[in-house]
Amino acid sequence: MSSFLIHANIAKALTISTDFYTSPELHQAAKEKIFASSWQFIGSKELVKFTGDVQPFTLLQEYLDEPLVLTKDKAGEINCLSNVCTHRGNIIATKACSKAGSLRCKYHGKLFDLAGKFVSMPEFSEVENFPTEADHLHALPIFNWGNLLFTTLHKKEEASSYFKEMMQRLNWLPIEEFIHRPDLSKTFEVDAHWALYCENYLEGFHIPFVHAGLNASLNFSEYTTELYPKSSLQLGVGKDETDCFDLPASSVDFGANIAAYYFWVYPNMMFNFYPWGLSVNVIRPVSTQKTKVEFIVFMWKEEKYDKGAGGDLDKVEAEDEEIVENVQRGVVSRFYKHGRYSVTRETGTHHFHRMLADSMNHP
């Protein structure tokens, strides 16, 4: 299997080998090496708003395809559990429900409480050494920020490693007041590798060339990128005060015309904060040549919706899709293997490639 080396000095570095985008074996390996151990977005706390609510879901459907279930137990705790019965592997919850007192497998009747603990099993009185810890449903860690929920299949690092800088930078923003708007949320299919879509997001270099409308709202000369261990921030500065955040004095950006905060969290989540609220983009790999992108909208101030840098997002998405799909056609060329980075404009992409290389080169 290929190994990857991205020079730490961006001025000397070559971009990641095109093997990463084209190899089916590497695409499969990335499931465990990159995605299973990273934190992933579940959705809104509103999915299990009341005690007894049960909400099955699939984590990164068509890629990780892990069947999970959210519950809210009698203690008012939200649980993220494996949705697979520990008896014979049946899927337990097949649809959302409310006022549930327990989780019962419909195959042979094994019963669990809403925290995933084994309760009872018919016809098992003669079974020795039963029940054991393995008879409970596997409980996954949950991280909650405001109205947003996250989990990880194989916890290697605390959630703070991924989200700390974003939370600190926006500690003045009342995230808990942001309301999920399914009516405004969408899913797009892109005929390209998932990492190409992320790379495009991670640099503002292309904005003047690809996004004329967005470029009219942003001061490109003040567009900056900040790098963190598991994330990065692109700061979108407006050309004037129109459609910008009304920042409190406690913000480190107080006095600046901030039109958008573009936070990316490794490996596949984008948090786009605008004066109207938040668009969470979850990048879902499907194959080496297909990706699904979920735009999940959380509204804060509806009167500011669809204005400035946070306006006409469908047009911006269409422009991004066109360019990324063209890049997909290019990276399979016999004549392209590596590119180089702009030292001033592509630090985010270089940072991403180094993280990919580190993940893929280690167990």
pLDDT at site 133: 97
Banded model confidence at residue 216, pLDDT cuts 50, 70, 90: confident
Q: Is 260 within 8 Å of 224 (Cβ atoms)? A: no
Report how far residue 174's alpha carbon sits from residue 277's, in angstroms, rounded to the nearest whole number: 10
Closest CA to 359 of 221, 204, 195, 236: 195
Q: Give me the residue label for tokens 């579940």.
A: 42
- 208 or 105, which is more confident: 105
Report how far residue 144's alpha carbon sits from residue 70's, in angstroms, rounded to the nearest whole number: 13
pLDDT at site 142: 98
pLDDT at site 103: 98
Residue 182, Ramachandran bin (φ over 0: left; ψ between -120 and 50: alpha; else beta): alpha
Q: What is the DSSP string of 99-148?
A: S---EE-TTT--EE-TTS-EEE-TT-TT-SS-S-GGGSPPEEPEEEETTE
Non-local (6+) Cβ contacts of 236 within 8 A are 204, 217, 218, 223, 258, 259, 260, 261, 262, 309
Looking at residue 333, the DSSP 8-state letter turns out to be -
Residue 1 predicted with pLDDT over 80: no
pLDDT at site 299: 97
**How many other C-beta atoms lie within 10 A of the C-beta of residue 79?**
21
Closest CA to 263 of 342, 202, 176, 174: 202
| CATH class for the region spanning 40-151 | mainly beta
Banded model confidence at residue 220, pLDDT cuts 50, 70, 90: confident
Residue 257 predicted with pLDDT over 90: yes
- Average pLDDT, rounded, for the chain: 96
Banded model confidence at residue 309, pLDDT cuts 50, 70, 90: confident
For 98-131, write each residue's pLDDT tens digit. 999 999 999 999 999 999 999 999 999 999 999 9
Banded model confidence at residue 2, pLDDT cuts 50, 70, 90: low
Banded model confidence at residue 9, pLDDT cuts 50, 70, 90: very high
Residue 283 pairs with which residues in a beta bridge?
A: 293
Considering the entire predicted model, what is its pTM? 0.95
Banded model confidence at residue 28, pLDDT cuts 50, 70, 90: very high
Closest CA to 215 of 202, 226, 201, 204: 204
Report how far residue 356's alpha carbon sits from residue 352's, in angstroms, rounded to the nearest whole number: 6
Q: Which CATH architecture has domain 160-361?
A: Alpha-Beta Complex (3.90)
Average the pLDDT over 310-326 and give the result: 92
Residue 315 predicted with pLDDT over 70: yes
For 59-103, write each residue's pLDDT tens digit. 999 999 999 999 999 999 999 999 999 999 999 999 999 999 999
Residue 233 pairs with which residues in a beta bridge?
A: 226, 263
Report how far residue 258's alpha carbon sits from residue 250's, in angstroms, rounded to the nearest whole number: 15
Q: Give me the residue label for tokens 């592509």.
A: 346
Residue 311 predicted with pLDDT over 90: no
Banded model confidence at residue 305, pLDDT cuts 50, 70, 90: very high
Average the pLDDT over 22-30 and give the result: 97
Q: Where are the domains of the chain?
A: 40-151, 160-361
Report how far residue 310's alpha carbon sits from residue 312's, in angstroms, rounded to the nearest whole number: 7
Average the pLDDT over 28-50 and give the result: 97
Q: Which helix (H) or strand (E) segment is 78 a member of?
A: strand 78-82
Between vectors from CA 207 to CA 202 and to CA 208, what angle results, nearest 5°? Answer: 150
Residue 363 predicted with pLDDT over 80: no
